[in-house]
A and B are shown apart, each in its own frame.
Chain A
Amino acid sequence: MPQIAQLAETYSSQVFWLLIIFGLVFLVIGRGMVPKVMDTVAMRDSQIAEDLAAAQAARDLAEQQEEAWRKRENQNRADAHALISAAKAEAAVQAEQKLAAAQKRLDETLVGAEQRIAAARAEAAAEVESIAADAAQDIARRLAGIDVARPNAEAAVKKVLAHG
């Protein structure tokens, strides 16, 4: 077993060269190069984290803006709705007013016409009465030779007219 057989003659060179070479590995590679490699990794990680954060912020902003837009849009829609319904209501009121005015005018015309008709009817009735009274006087004079006084004739006609 050379590890033991050669121990006395080789241990010093083994230890010496190991310390020199492992020392160099530690100083040059371990202390010199590894931290740089790890820095690169850390840099990349932080870059990725930053990019993700920026993307998240951008998305949040977009969502906020969309939310604001949606609010504005809803407001606008509601405003438009209110405007339309107000206009509708106004139009309805106006139409109603116009209708009422027209109705009133019609009613007035109707009432006037009815009054006129009633007056004409009364006049005609009065005329019929006076003609009937005249006729009654005339008939009485011719048939019976009696002069009936005008008021009596009128009263008799009225009585007959009233009884139908």
Chain B
Amino acid sequence: MFAMLGTRRQVAAEAKVDPMHQFTIEPMFGSEAWELAGYNIAFTNSALWMAISAVALWVFVAGGMKRQLVPGRWQMAVESFTGFIDGMLEANVGKAGRKYVPYIFSLFMFILFANVLGLLPLGLVGVHPFTFTSHFTVTGVLAILSFSIVLIVGFWKHGIHFFSLFVPHGTPWPMIPIIFPIELISFMVRPFSLGLRLFVAMMAGHVLLEVLSSFVIDGWNAGIGFGLLVGLPSFVLMVGICALEILVAGIQAYVFALLTSLYINDAENLH
């Protein structure tokens, strides 16, 4: 989004800042015509940032693979992340949670890297960072993946008994016909809330920064008085909100992973 700042500054006189433009998907390297079975699979800027996140994550984890008995700082950092995920699954699912560490770790770190890389002020050097987690097509797919795991594990382990998840313990039997649909609906809403939460949080933060940046630019363009009255406070607020966004980037990745592990707990252990 800082990229906008750069480009807008040059054209500020004639163009207005469009806070939504940063989410535009553009095919890259002339790939807009790529198709697979009739579906367009253009390699877009979104796909590029997915790849960058994946490579950055690979570099990060690979740096921690020295397998020293006394770890260095890098190895310590990687081990603390795996330990964090391991501990979270242990606490929420129990011993059976161990086998989900690869998935939850991939999910958490991929989202975390995507969120943080999307916040990098690369606009200052003229590159457009793109936060692909601000697209519900992406977060939706991740949510559906998590939800599918819950369904598959649940029905695999418990069969038809999995439906007892929708009847909490101690429900009086006359209440069952009412409770069951309520619980079922709240269960079916999970993938939507999971995917939308991340998408909304990331998009809102980036839009907010963009809007504030337009205040800064338009304020200073309107003269020194508006600049001091509107531009400067907006800029100070932006600095604070940038820090908040870094926090949100971590928290949203954590929430996504935590909720996924809680849902997996339902599938593993019912209630």
List A residues at the B interface (Cβ < 8 Å). Answer: 1-3, 6-7, 9-19, 21-22, 24-26, 28-31, 33-38, 40-41, 43-44, 47
Q: 13 A-B contacts, Cβ less than 8 Å apart?
A: A3-B134, A10-B40, A10-B44, A13-B46, A13-B47, A14-B46, A16-B39, A17-B47, A18-B50, A18-B132, A18-B142, A26-B106, A29-B61
List B residues at the A interface (Cβ < 8 Å). Answer: 20-21, 23-25, 27, 34, 36, 39-44, 46-47, 50-51, 53-54, 57-58, 61-62, 64-65, 67-69, 71, 75, 78-79, 82-83, 86, 101-103, 105-106, 109-110, 132, 134-138, 141-142, 145, 199, 203
In the assembled complex, the CB of B81 is this many whole angstroms from the nearest CB of chain A, namely 9
Q: State A9–B24 Cα separation when bound (angstroms).
A: 12
Q: Which residue of A lies closest to B37 (CB)?
A: A12
Chain A residues with CB under 8 A of B101: 30, 34-35, 38
Chain A residues with CB under 8 A of B199: 3
Q: Are B82 and A41 in contact (CB under 8 A)?
A: yes
Q: Are A17 and B43 in contact (CB under 8 A)?
A: yes
Q: Are A14 and B138 in contact (CB under 8 A)?
A: yes
Q: Are B41 and A13 in contact (CB under 8 A)?
A: yes
Q: State A7–B40 Cα separation when bound (angstroms).
A: 12
Q: Are B58 and A12 in contact (CB under 8 A)?
A: no
Q: Which residue of A lies closest to B20 (CB)?
A: A1
Chain A residues with CB under 8 A of B61: 29, 33-34, 37
Chain B residues with CB under 8 A of A17: 41, 43-44, 46-47, 50-51
Chain A residues with CB under 8 A of B24: 2, 6
**Given A7-B137, A22-B142, A30-B106: A13 in contact with B43 (beta carbons within 8 A):** yes
Q: State A36–B101 Cα separation when bound (angstroms).
A: 12
Q: Are B54 and A18 in contact (CB under 8 A)?
A: no
Q: Which residue of B lies closest to A48 (CB)?
A: B69
Partner of A38, one of B53, B82, B110, B145: B82
Q: Are B51 and A13 in contact (CB under 8 A)?
A: no
In the assembled complex, the CB of B232 is this many whole angstroms from the nearest CB of chain A, namely 30
